[in-house]
Amino acid sequence: MSEATGVPLVGGCGCGGVRFEITASLVASAYCHCTRCQRRSGTAAAASARVVPGSVVVTAGQDLLRGWAPEGGLEKVFCGDCGSALFGRDRTTGEIAAVRLGAIDGDPGVRPSFRQFVAYAAPWEPIPDDGLPRFAERADLDALSARAAEEAVSYVMTARLPAAGIEAFNRYEQAVLPLLAAHGGRLTRRLRSSDGLTEVHLVEFPSTAAFDSYRKDSRHQRWGPLLDESGAAIELLELYDAEA
For the stretch 110-136, pLDDT in tens is 888 889 999 999 999 999 988 888 999
Q: What average pLDDT does the structure give for the chain?
A: 89
The pLDDT value recorded for residue 157 is: 95
Q: What are the structural domains of the chain? A: 9-150 (3.90.1590.10), 152-239 (3.30.70.100)
Q: Binning pLDDT at 50, 70 and 90, where does residue 3 land?
A: very low
The pLDDT value recorded for residue 150 is: 65
Q: What are phi and psi of 7, to 5 degrees?
A: -105, 160
11-57 per-position pLDDT tens digit: 999 999 999 999 888 888 899 999 999 999 999 999 999 998 899 99
**Mean pLDDT value across residues 217-227:** 90
Distance of CA 12 to the CA centre of its chain: 18
Q: What are phi and psi of 137, to 5 degrees?
A: -115, -145
Query: With 80 as the cut, is the pLDDT of residue 172 above it?
Result: yes
The pLDDT value recorded for residue 158 is: 96
The pLDDT value recorded for residue 1 is: 35
More confident residue, 217 or 161: 161
Q: Binning pLDDT at 50, 70 and 90, where does residue 244 land?
A: low
CA quadruple 147, 214, 57, 84: dihedral positive or negative? negative
What per-residue string of b and e applies to 213-243 under the rule 16 or more CB within 10 Å gives b? bbebbeebeeeeebbeebebeeeeeeeeeee
Question: What percent of the chain clears pLDDT 90, i.e. is strictly above it?
Answer: 61
Query: With 70 as the cut, is the pLDDT of residue 142 above it?
Result: no
Using DSSP's 3-state secondary structure scheme, residue 154 falls into strand
CA distances to 2, 28, 113, 214 from 145, in Å = 19, 11, 12, 22
Query: With 60 as the cut, is the pLDDT of residue 212 above it?
Result: yes
The pLDDT value recorded for residue 2 is: 36
Query: With 60 as the cut, is the pLDDT of residue 4 above it?
Result: no
64-98 per-position pLDDT tens digit: 999 999 888 899 999 999 999 999 999 889 999 99
Closest to 214 measured CA to CA, from 178, 172, 174, 168: 178
The pLDDT value recorded for residue 144 is: 63
Taking the CB of residue 134, how many other CB atoms lie within 10 A of it? 17
Task: Give the integer Cα–Cα distance in Å for 81 and 67.
Answer: 12
More confident residue, 54 or 2: 54
Return all residues near 31 (Cβ < 8 A) that are at least 6 apart: 45, 46, 47, 112, 114, 115, 116, 132
pTM: 0.62
